[in-house]
Amino acid sequence: MFFSCNDSYNEVQKIGVSENEPVGEAYDINLKYTVEGRVTANLLSPKMIDYTNRDFPYNEFPEGITLYLYDDKDEKSTVVSDYAIIYNDTNLIDLQGNVVITTADNSVLKTQQLYYDQKKEWLFTNKSVTFTTGQDVINGNGFDSNSKFTNAEVLEVTGFITVED
């Protein structure tokens, strides 16, 4: 008889878990991200399903998320969606259903789907959007911006309203 040893930790992890089944579920998520002891983000969700056992791993939030983001001045922006999925290998977040972002300066973006590239800190969509800033309400088909909204652009503008005080 011949026996061989090899490093098959990933294979051992999969024993008893179908590749179509999640590796875990979590409820009432309250996850805080910190940088140098300062909270920079707080993710809240009723449910997370962990599919990191798949070839293209991801975490799914089928009941939506609320995400609070804090800038260097501890000013808070809020992201809300009915559904979210985070793709681990690409660091892409797909937000879907009644997506609303309210920035610290009270600008508001509304759309049905929005992507966030965590590496590039970039938000984008090709869906219809409504973007409200100060006195302007801009409707369009598509949106591009950095995560700080300092260069936010509504694409294919279909309507523009300026409200005067």
Range of the domain at 112: 22-162
Alpha-carbon distance of 102 to 104, in angstroms, equals 7
pLDDT tens sequence across 56-72: 999 999 999 999 988 88
- The per-residue pLDDT for 5 is 55
Helix, coil or strand: residue 73 = coil
pLDDT tens sequence across 88-130: 999 999 999 999 999 999 999 999 999 999 888 899 999 999 9
Q: Is residue 133 part of a domain?
A: yes
Q: Is residue 97 part of a domain?
A: yes
Total domains in the chain come to: 1
Q: Is residue 13 part of a domain?
A: no
Give the CA distances from residue 68 to residues 9, 44, 58, 76, 100, in Å, rounded to whole numbers and listed in that order: 36, 8, 21, 6, 12
Q: What is the CATH number of the domain that holds 132?
A: 2.60.450.10
